[in-house]
């Protein structure tokens, strides 16, 4: 008795695994993404190290080119107010909350 599955999907006898997929899988598993996660765009996001926590809780001010646009409008396509703060990240050096000064001798 043959089923539809057996008739449609015949077994391939000389099937070989996809070597490219396997190499990529084992490479990512062993080495991980490393520096490729944030550096694949070059230096475009190099100064983007200020976190939302630093902006909200430490009251980091937006000055110069980091100032938000004056007006926001409702975007019915995404059902959100545009632009959001997250659309305009603050560029600058990160704050280490004085930890470096405390840890250094």
pLDDT value at residue 74 = 92
**pLDDT single digits (tens) 12-24:** 777 776 788 888 8
Average pLDDT over residues 46-56: 72
Model confidence, pTM: 0.43
User: Max Cα separation, the chain?
Assistant: 80
**pLDDT single digits (tens) 54-66:** 777 777 788 888 8
pLDDT band for position 2 (cuts 50, 70, 90): confident
pLDDT value at residue 3 = 76
pLDDT value at residue 76 = 92
Helix, coil or strand: residue 7: helix
DSSP assignments along 14-66, one per residue: T----HHHHHHHHHHHHH-STTHHHHTTTTTTTTB---HHHHHTS-----GGG
Of the chain, the percentage scoring pLDDT greater than 70 comes to: 70
């Amino acid at each position: 008795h043959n089923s539809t599955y057996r008739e449609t999907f015949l077994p391939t006898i000389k099937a070989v695994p996809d070597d490219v997929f396997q190499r990529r899988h084992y490479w990512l598993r062993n080495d991980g993404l490393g520096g490729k996660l944030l550096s694949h765009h070059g230096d475009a996001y190099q100064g983007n190290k200020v976190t939302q926590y630093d902006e909200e809780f430490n009251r980091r001010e937006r000055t110069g080119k980091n100032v938000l646009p004056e007006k926001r409008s409702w975007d019915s396509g995404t059902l959100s107010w545009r632009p959001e703060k997250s659309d305009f990240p603050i560029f600058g050096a990160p704050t280490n909350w004085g930890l470096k000064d405390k840890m250094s001798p």
